[in-house]
Amino acid sequence: MWNRTTVLVISVILAFVLGNVADAQEQLASQAQRRGSRSLHQFQSNDGTVTFTNRPEKYKHRTDYIEIDIKYERIPLPPQYTPTPRAQPKIVTDESLRGIVTRYATIYGLDEALVYAVIRAESNFDPNAVSSAGARGLMQLMPGTAAEMGVTDIFDPTQNVAGGTQYLSKMLELFKDKKLALAAYNAGPENVKRHGGIPPFKETQHYVKTVLAFEQAYGGGATRPNFTVLAARNYAARPTANTPPPSAYTVHFHSGLSQPADKVEDREPYWYIHYGNRTYPVRKELVKHVEEPA
């Protein structure tokens, strides 16, 4: 029979052990929460407001919100890939472009004719193209999106097409419709969701028709299409129907690139870059400096 002293000692030991277990469980839960905080989810309300959160359970079961699910992966590069010096203007030929497009169209399950059509509409096959919004390269990637995919040289044809085809494939997965996917590639998925279809932007409506016409032309007939790709030249802005006004902010990335912004919001662990009708969440670790209005 245990005496009171023995019972008291056992009780103290149990309390100590249980306390350590509780502390360990709390630490594990805290670690899990921190790991979960690295995953960003995007939701849009019925009125079009876009919300980014690392606590998706708050919105998943609400009828007035829909989730826009986009998760980027690091672009796969071929074993024989050799990058050109970053400061050197890029050159792409018909032959090299065909190899690049075939590889990444296969990886992401896209029709090659559609990839060629997007490249034609976006940059007219100029690997050094820069738009007034800051998009760059053959498929006009935005610097923040490119960085999220692990693109280290946004003008490099291989890396640019790898990133552009991944993004296009994700738009097709999200909308299950080619026209809507193209509209999302041009205007952003949040605008397609907000308007319940192709947004009423003249540029986007024209873009969708243009890409589909190019796709039909490149896909017609049994012979492979011939391209006249542009030789290396100084960076030139892609012509746009409506040139946006000067931005209030400039976001500088560690990659050496920059992106204009109308507004930049600080919400740990992301910068939220607002430009025109688009909102881009970018991890802070990818941003070197946010230049504010003078």
CA angle in degrees (0–180, nearest 5) for 176-213-175: 10
C-beta of residue 110 within 8 angstroms of C-beta of residue 169: yes
63 burial level (CB within 10 Å; 0-12, 13-18, 19+): exposed
Active-site entry in 26, 67, 95, 122? 122
Based on the residue annotation, tell me whether 122 is a catalytic residue of this protein.
yes
30 burial level (CB within 10 Å; 0-12, 13-18, 19+): exposed
C-beta of residue 250 within 8 angstroms of C-beta of residue 281: no
Distances (CA, A) of 250 to 52, 63, 217, 230: 21, 36, 39, 29
Distances (CA, A) of 221 to 96, 217, 218, 225: 22, 9, 8, 9
Tokens matching residue 114: 């559609």
Tokens matching residue 54: 């690392």
151 burial level (CB within 10 Å; 0-12, 13-18, 19+): buried
Tokens matching residue 255: 């990659």
C-beta of residue 96 within 8 angstroms of C-beta of residue 228: no
Mapped onto helix, strand or coil, the DSSP state of residue 110 is coil
Residues annotated as catalytic (active site), given as ranges: 122
